[in-house]
């Protein structure tokens, strides 16, 4: 019924790994360039900086403390997003290299 041999199984594995590697690489690059450089984060960071400056000018310590906490949270968010993007890119690259190596097997 099904004629399964080592060569056809290896071909399927190589194809699946190549597709998964391409998807992972594309998703990682998308996250790195699109999400990290998003306009929403830039707007929030700019507004928070203005809020902190206003708090300093009017000597409102609670406002300055909350604004600095928000800036630290934004920095952590960008670092986390960057880490996820780098991880997906690295995994995609590794999958593509392994698929290429397996594809060269006789």
Give per-residue burial for 18-55: e unless 16+ CB within 10 Å, then b.
Answer: beebeebbebbeebbeebeeeeebeebeeebeebbeeb
3 φ/ψ angles, rounded to the nearest 5 degrees: -100, 95
Dist. CA 56–CA 83, nearest whole Å: 33
pLDDT digits over 9-57, tens only?
888 899 999 999 999 999 998 988 876 566 666 666 676 666 666 655 6
How is residue 31 written in tokens? 């996250």
Dist. CA 89–CA 99, nearest whole Å: 15
Q: pTM, whole model, 2 decimals? A: 0.67
């Amino acid at each position: 019924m099904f004629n399964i041999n080592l060569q056809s199984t290896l071909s399927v594995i190589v194809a699946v790994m190549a597709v998964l590697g391409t998807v992972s690489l594309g998703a990682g690059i998308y996250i790195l360039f699109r999400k990290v450089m998003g306009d929403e984060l830039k707007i929030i960071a700019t507004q928070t900086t203005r809020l902190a400056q206003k708090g300093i000018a009017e000597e409102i310590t609670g406002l300055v403390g909350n604004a600095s906490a928000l800036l630290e949270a934004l920095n952590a968010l960008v670092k986390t997003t960057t880490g996820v993007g780098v991880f997906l890119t690295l995994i995609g690259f590794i999958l593509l290299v392994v698929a290429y190596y397996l594809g060269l097997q006789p």
